[in-house]
Amino acid sequence: MPAKKQPGFLPTSRQEAEGLGIDQFDIILISGDAYVDHPSFGTALIGRVLWDAGYSVGIIAQPYWKKEDDFKKLGQPRLFFGISSGNVDSMVNNFTANLKRRSNDVYSPGGVSCRSDRATIVYADKVHALFPKVPLVLGGIEASLRRFAHYDYWSDSVRQSILADAPADMIVFGMGERPLLDLTERLDKGESIQDVNDLAGTVVKMELRKWRSIGYDDQLVLPSFAEISTDKRSYADAFRLHYQEQDPFHGRTVIQTHPKTVIIQNRPSKPLTTEELDFVYELPYTREAHPSYKESVPALEPVKFSVTTHRGCFGSCSFCALTHHQGRIVQSRSAESIIREVIRITRMPSFKGIIQDVGGPTANMYGLYCAAWMKGACSDKLCSADCPSLKTDHSLQVELLKRLRAIPGVRKVFVGSGIRHDLVLADRSSYLEDLCQYHVSGHLKIAPEHVVRKVTDCMHKPPLEVLEAFKARFDVVNKAHQKEQYLVPYLMSGHPGCTVKDMIELAEYIRDHRMYTEQVQDFTPTPMTISTAMYYTGLDPITMNPIHVPKGREKRIQRAILQYKDQRNYGLVKEGLKLADREDLIGDCQKCLIPGKPAIREKISKTPGKGRSNDRSF
């Protein structure tokens, strides 16, 4: 179909549709997020891509799921409904790591929570009841990472694939532009969605009898839902098997039988080319929330003037699901495209000269490359900074940032995304020097997560020696430029493989090195990560070796030890120190973590973990 002229905002009402001459939408996208027309919001990006391909797209943002009105307001689409919980899994969005319900939602106007739990299933149930003959396609992070049977932290149980639980026809997983365009074209030509079962980047379901009659070539059959929901070793086996098939070049079709259906994941969609990625991010996003909102959407503010330079991450951190969503192959935009995007930003009336971030999942992977990626990432090993095949030269980033600084109207270009510090040590360009001189606003984010070797090994993170080597180089560079700048390390408590003694060792390192403690996270077992498989099974799914898993009170103690200066944590910290036979750290000496008796509490912040300690730096 010929490209359609892009509207200021994609229509969200019949009135807006009539103004564009639309009687019936081709596609209606439903999202748990507010409608923000920015490329970091998935619904806006996919909607713009489909519109440019010639299809009319309507958006229903944050429908009230207890009534039918919102779901019916745009009518019935000609081709399909696309359903997503939004940028974040709805359960992660609605609950803390301690399973307490959150009181706010940064993806909603005014920060007021507007989405249901398990939003993808809830929306799909409602739409199917109203429009039973219209195809339903699930997408976004929630559907993508729940495409196989998975451990669900919030119910403490193994749940079926979301496609087995929802009355939907298909999941588009990962970054969905290519499979969605292919699907839309096939449906537009009259093909039934039940016959589209071979599309890369999609998951479909079918009856057991039909699956057996088709006889897929080169398929991998996982342990069934019945097996993995009753046997933890089978669960770990299943995870390892599908984890190894998430490559767009050599991944096989992956099958998992469920009680009433068969779940079939086709191999992942191939990464977009540089030209395709440039095109997607140069569509005419307004970078504003829809004008119907009377209050701002908090999630927009930190990214409004940010630029995505690349996709993919080869870090393969155990607690991160990017391997299953964006993949290990880094796809970078051209410098020319990024520059054009920044020039457009400078023309926005609200722009004050500050580019908030230039980056991606890991900021300093832009432009990095491995020749093996042409045929797929290595299946027998993970990418690392010391691999001779990986090109770790940061020169392309250095040149890009230099050109961005020179754009008229730009006063400052920040790199707000975290960087991978081991990659910086492998680089021989002036990247760190330029970063410290021009692109850091006093603090540089890095993510060591821990300092104990067996814990960082479980996390697939660089060891302490790499962190300290980077810290030394960082200090030398800042001294040369006469700058007083600090590292802000992200640290994690409660990760599988970590004991109370390990957390005490981390706390002592924090004490000795005066590290900021505000960037603290308690491990949350989210679907489709290695760490979650460890948490549920007590096994490393890659090696099948047993692993210690902190749960319940021990997990609370570990979190408290990481924030030992918070007086509210006194009792838990003391309990942890006694359990580990480290009562030498209780008392009034300089090395003690807590005093012998709790201090009188005065003017304590109401939000644990949000305030900075009195320490100045790391």
Residue 381 pLDDT: 82
Q: Using CA atoms, how far apart are residues 48 and 10, in angstroms rounded to an integer? A: 8
As beta bridge partners, residue 157 has 152
Residue 29 pLDDT: 98
pLDDT digits (tens, 9 = 90+) for 137-181: 999 999 999 999 999 999 999 999 999 999 999 999 999 999 999
> Over pLDDT 90: what percentage of the chain?
84
Among 221, 237, 265, the domain-final residue is 265
Q: Using CA atoms, how far apart are residues 228 and 19, in angstroms rounded to an integer? A: 52
pLDDT digits (tens, 9 = 90+) for 385-422: 888 899 999 999 999 999 999 999 999 999 988 899 99
Among 232, 265, 298, the domain-final residue is 265
* 543 within some domain: yes
Query: Crossing angle for the helix pair 395-405 and 431-438, nearest 10 degrees?
Result: 30
Alpha-carbon Rg for the chain, nearest whole angstrom, is 25
Q: Using CA atoms, how far apart are residues 174 and 322, in angstroms rounded to an integer? A: 9
Angle (CA) 524-528-531 rounded to 5° is 50
> pTM of this prediction?
0.93
* 359 within some domain: no
How many structural domains does the chain have?
2
* 213 within some domain: no
Counting beta carbons within 10 angstroms of the beta carbon of residue 405, is it exposed (0 to 12), middle (13 to 18) or buried (19 or more)? middle
Residue 617 token pair: 């730096």
Tell me the average pLDDT across 557-584.
95
As beta bridge partners, residue 28 has 58, 81
Q: Is the pLDDT at 600 greater than 60, yes or no?
A: yes
| CA pseudo-torsion sign 256, 262, 263, 264 | positive
For residue 521, give the H/E element and its range. Answer: strand 520-522
Q: Using CA atoms, how far apart are residues 184 and 186, in angstroms rounded to an integer? A: 5
As beta bridge partners, residue 357 has 306
Among 250, 265, 280, the domain-final residue is 265
Angle (CA) 298-301-304 rounded to 5° is 135
The contacts of residue 45 (CB under 8 Å, 6+ apart) are 39, 177, 280, 283, 285
| Domain harbouring 170, CATH code | 3.40.50.280
Residue 602 pLDDT: 52
pLDDT digits (tens, 9 = 90+) for 52-84: 999 999 999 999 999 999 999 999 999 999 999
Enclosing domain of residue 591: 480-618
* 246 within some domain: no
* 199 within some domain: yes
Residue 427 pLDDT: 94
Residue 485 pLDDT: 92
Q: What is the mean pLDDT of the chain?
A: 93
Angle (CA) 382-385-391 rounded to 5° is 100
For residue 256, give the H/E element and its range. Answer: strand 253-257
